[in-house]
A = this chain, B = another copy of it.
Amino acid sequence: MDGWEGLRRTLAAIPRDIPVIADAKRGDIGSTSEAYARALFEELGFDATTLTPYVGLDGLEPFLRYHDRGLLVLCKTSNPGSGDFQDLVVDWRGQRTPLYQVVAQRVVEWNRKGSGQCGLVVGATYPSQLKQIRALAPDLPILIPGVGAQSGSLEEAVRLGADQSGDLAIVNVSRAIIYAGSEADWPAAARAEAQPTVEAMRRSRPARAES
Contact = CB atoms under 8 A, between A and B. Distances in A.
Tell me how many chains of this kind the complex includes. 2
Given A54-B54, A79-B56, A84 B99 contact: no
A114 to B, nearest CB: 15
A71 interface: no
Query: How many residues of A sit at the interface, in one of the four size bands?
Result: 35 or more
A141 interface: no
A91 to B, nearest CB: 5
Given A27-B54, A55-B77, A59-B77, 14 more contacts: A1-B5, A25-B27, A25-B55, A27-B27, A27-B52, A31-B149, A52-B55, A53-B84, A56-B81, A56-B85, A56-B86, A57-B81, A59-B79, A88-B102
